[in-house]
Amino acid sequence: MTLIMPFIRLIKYFLLCAGVALLLIPPPVQATEPISVVKSPSSGALYERSDWVLNVAVPVANPFLQEEIALDLVATSPSGKMVVLPCFFEATSPGQAAWNARFTPRESGEYQIRFRLTLKGILTSTTNPVAFNVSPTMKRGFLNPHSDWTFRFDNGEYYRGIGINLCWESRSNDDSKYFKALHENPRFNYGHLFGLLNRNGGSFTRIWMCPWNLPIEARIVSPNTSRYRNSDDYFNPDAIRRMDEVITLADSLGIFIMLALDQAGNYMGGQWEVNNYNSKNGGPAADAKDFFLNPAARQQYKNRLRYLIARWGYSPSIAMWEFFNEVDYLSFDKDTTDHSRRLAVVDWHTDMSRWLKVNDPYQHLVTTSISHMDVKGLNSIPDIDINQKHVYKYTSGIPQIIRDYSDRYGKPYVIGEFGYEWDWSKNFDDFGSNMDSDFKRGLWLGLFSPTPVLPMSWWWEYFENRGMFGTFQSVRQIHNQMMAAGQGAFTSIPVTAPSDDVQALAVRCGKTTFVYVYKSSGSDKPVELKLKEHTGKPARGKLVLCDSLAETDYRGFHQSSEGLQLSLPAMKAGTDVILILD
């Protein structure tokens, strides 16, 4: 017993010392979560934007490079669908910065929202899910593909775009020979133009990102504008501010935008000399062809696309991302046997359109455009939803162009620009009446052709100044009757005209047939038409003058073995009418 006790006391002594030592060791430091949510709404509304604000405690050299850092909002919808939305970084004031998420839900009910952080391609952190409750609204949601004739909103409503190019706002130093003062008039801003379009029944437009308008990626902006300033920031802050304003304005007025992200001129001549992608300016590309091929240039462009989705993708007003205006000018070599440039352009569009479809949670429509030279392979890219080209000095051919391309490639076709004249060195006032007539004619021909967006005229300042925007109201009224009659369904009906100076198109919407007739030239004389596939005699008819929408009863029809025969009273050259047969 006496031998054991000292041993026990010794053990107790060592245990006591060990305990004291443990007490003296500081507790382990808890790792700080890199993501902290500063603002987190608990509820929102269907098809309306809700905002989150976050801090990320990870230093990075450039937060706009997704290969370095990517923060995403990950939402599980009420139906169980996972939606991944990129977040964007913004320096709110000197020394202050935050990450932002702008999310528009497409389902009502309870979402689960979490955020995930990826650093250099490795998932680093994920927040715990938080409930986000979405109440229903009467809003229509986003535009989706439907048919050659129409788009369809999330709520099922059908839509056709009626509008005009409004590609840039007034410039402070315009280079027009005859219309410099007009183009520099400050009234040509999006507040005025969107409002005027809306008041006259238009709801669709096309705007550019370029060195003189919304120059999102330009460090050196065009000297033609004082609206934007040069900047060394990764994205131009003036362009970001104005784009925020433009999208807010479009949302408030129900204007849908085909957003042209680039134009061929940026990669040619003097514009290429100041282009951020030019290796002379620290960019990755040696020339325009290298822009399309260079992996670093492609990655830089995808970083831009990610920012566009994150900051403005929430808006249903963005109807389409258009990669390029008139990319055919970058698609061909002087050596006609060398197809490498064309192949590079097609491969680039294939890569970028696929990337958008994977990364844009709203699945905005995707398109690109050519001027007049077809680029083999471009119309067949699977992830480009809409094919388009520009047509000048051939407005009468627009219906056939649309039918040929949509039939050949199995996609809707759009005429993104059209006009009586393309040459800006001419004085349009010398043939102003022809410009006006062509403006109206392109819209009417488009209304009766299988396209989801009616042809959009160029020269918006000129036509605004001549009071031509009222034409949209006339086209809108007939459009609304067609939509109501067919509930969004359109079927072309073959119609034969008596001579080349008469152009006629016919469309069946439900049980109602609409016939457009244009007399281009020749003497005043009655017009005889045949609707070959029309069965049954109409109960009644109306003849509508396109210019005034004045209506008269129409009974000049009779059924024969060759179809429905239509007799119209004498028409003057340059006039057009619509027959409505029920």
pLDDT digits (tens, 9 = 90+) for 379-407: 999 999 999 999 999 999 999 999 999 99
Reported as a pLDDT band with limits 50, 70 and 90, residue 218 is very high
Mean pLDDT of 506-518: 97
What's the pLDDT at 32?
Answer: 59
pLDDT in tens, 252-265: 999 999 999 999 99
pLDDT at 4 over 90: no
User: How would you write 4-40 as a 3-class SS string?
Assistant: HHHHHHHHHHHHHHHHHHHHHCCCCCCCCCCEEEEEC
Cα torsion 128, 136, 253, 317 to 10°: value is 50
The rounded Cα 456 to chain-centroid distance in angstroms is 14
Mean pLDDT of 408-435: 98
What's the pLDDT at 532?
Answer: 84
- CA separation, residue 79 to residues 82, 107, 113, 503 (Å): 9, 8, 14, 51
Q: Are 105 and 134 in contact (CB under 8 A)?
A: yes
What's the pLDDT at 97?
Answer: 78
Q: Which fold has domain 35-135?
A: Immunoglobulin-like (2.60.40)
What average pLDDT does the structure give for the chain?
Answer: 93
Nearest to 483 by CA among 198, 160, 152, 205: 160
> How would you list the strands of the sheet with 96-103, edge to edge?
35-39, 50-56, 96-103, 88-93
pLDDT at 285 over 80: yes
User: Which residues, other chains included, contact 361 with Cβ-Cβ below 8 Å and sequence gap of 6+?
Assistant: 83, 84, 85, 309, 313
SS3 state of residue 199: helix
User: Which residues, other chains included, contact 342 with Cβ-Cβ below 8 Å and sequence gap of 6+?
Assistant: 331, 332, 375, 376, 377
DSSP state of 458: S
pLDDT in tens, 533-579: 776 789 899 999 999 999 999 999 988 888 899 999 999 999 999 99
Nearest to 544 by CA among 481, 456, 454: 481
| Domain pair 35-135 / 492-581, same fold | yes
Residue 155 and residue 254: Cα distance in Å, rounded?
15
Nearest to 568 by CA among 551, 543, 549: 543
Q: What residue ranges do the domains of the chain occupy?
A: 35-135, 151-486, 492-581
SS3 state of residue 430: helix
Q: Are 119 and 126 in contact (CB under 8 A)?
A: no
Phi then psi dihedrals of residue 246, to 5 deg: -65, -45
The CATH architecture of the domain made up of 492-581 is: Sandwich (2.60)
Which amino acid is present at 150? T
pLDDT at 19 over 70: no
User: Which residues, other chains included, contact 572 with Cβ-Cβ below 8 Å and sequence gap of 6+?
Assistant: 519, 524
Nearest to 422 by CA among 444, 394, 396, 441: 394
Residue 466 and residue 434: Cα distance in Å, rounded?
13
The whole-model pTM stands at 0.93
Residue 106 and residue 580: Cα distance in Å, rounded?
38
What's the pLDDT at 302?
Answer: 98
Question: What is the percentage of the chain residues whose pLDDT exceeds 70?
Answer: 94
Mean pLDDT of 76-96: 90
Q: In what helix (H) or strand (E) does residue 556 lie, and over which residues does it extend?
A: none
Q: What's the CATH class of domain 151-486? A: alpha beta
The rounded Cα 410 to chain-centroid distance in angstroms is 20
Please spell the DSSP secondary structure of 358-400, one letter per residue: HH-TT--EEE--BSSS--TTGGG-TT--BEEEEEES-GGGHHH
What's the pLDDT at 20?
Answer: 36
What's the pLDDT at 536?
Answer: 75
Residue 410 and residue 283: Cα distance in Å, rounded?
38
Reported as a pLDDT band with limits 50, 70 and 90, residue 41 is very high
